[in-house]
A = this chain, B = another copy of it.
């Protein structure tokens, strides 16, 4: 019997019993998508929902993984188990930082209470934005109740994924505030907690003032939860207990206010829409083989028809 033919429910049971190899294989199935991923989903979904996800995101080099590692250490000292998903944008350009960080996380590699996995998509319909919540639900279902999702905060998809956690921590560095003129609104939208990492460096207080000012201008300051700003020196674990206390406070706040339920329902609604869209896309691809389709394509190539007009015409042929 080849390794592949172990039935999904058997892997699921083994993973639930603490078999890390089985868990790793299930996550590979999730990454790959397809029928076996659906089966994982069918098993996980009904019994998930007890876990809590914390997103950590920031620019390359901001020290996210050192921070993640420090948070893992803290959680372990509290007797908590933890799983980490590191989202790899399948890009060569994440640079050396990721490998370095992975190595740093190896501090916890032999600890059975810690499970670390980097995620990529291997053909999953819908890419990381659909594979990630499925991976989270699997970890949740088998009893990993703290799930950290670390993403590189560059790129549309990756920032979105970070923003889909129950609590999202945005990691910045001193000096950041001076130079960034890019879309601050995007950051404001996803941050529940700000960390100024490397707060032993010059300029961190200016960065805090800058963030405070942005919060004032964004009206978020007047919402019920105002994102706190926590100075941290992750390499020395300074500020990490304060960060975790803040994450806990945010969790209690959104649990008590009903915001957690609203967020999760919103995310599920979005996920459903995305699944529907991906399915329709698949359907369109299947249908995109007929003569009429080829004619329309030829007209686009000849520039006698623009792509949007061709698409409208194609949709008429599939009846949508």
Tell me the A residues contacting B by CB distance below 8 Å: 38, 41-42, 45-49, 57-60, 88-100, 120, 127-128, 152-159, 175-176, 178-184, 186-187, 265, 268-269, 271-273, 275-277, 279-281, 283-285, 288, 296-297, 300-301, 303-304, 306-312, 314-315, 318-320
Whether A311 contacts B279 in the complex (CB less than 8 A), given A49-B303, A297-B272, A301-B268, comes out as: yes
**In the complex the two chains form, is B284's CB within 8 Å of A273's CB?**
yes
Question: With A280-B281, A319-B319 in contact, is A275–B307 under 8 Å at CB?
Answer: yes
User: Interface centre among A89, A269, A314, by most B CB within 10 Å?
Assistant: A89
Q: How far is the CB of A297 from chain B (nearest CB, A)?
A: 6
Q: Taking the nearest CB of chain B, how far is it from the CB of A247, in angstroms?
A: 20
- Contacts A93-B58, A280-B280, A301-B265 given: A308-B273 contact, CB under 8 Å? no
Do residues B284 and A156 form an inter-chain contact, with CB atoms below 8 A? Answer: no
| Residue on B nearest A183 in the bound complex, by CB | B90
Q: Are B46 and A304 in contact (CB under 8 A)?
A: yes
For A307, give its contact among B41, B96, B183 (CB under 8 Å).
B41
- Cβ–Cβ contact B307 & A59, under 8 A: no
A20 to chain B, nearest CB (A): 21
A179 touching B308 in the complex, CB below 8 Å, given contacts A157-B157, A159-B91, A272-B297: no
With known contacts A38-B308, A307-B268, A319-B319, A154–B46 Cβ distance under 8 A: no
Nearest to A127 among chain B residues (CB) is B156
Q: Which residues of B contact A319 (CB under 8 A)?
A: 319
Name 21 A/B residue pairs within 8 A (Cβ), A-sorted. A45-B303, A47-B303, A59-B94, A91-B154, A91-B155, A91-B159, A92-B182, A93-B182, A94-B182, A96-B180, A97-B179, A99-B182, A152-B155, A268-B297, A268-B300, A271-B307, A272-B311, A272-B314, A273-B288, A277-B281, A279-B311
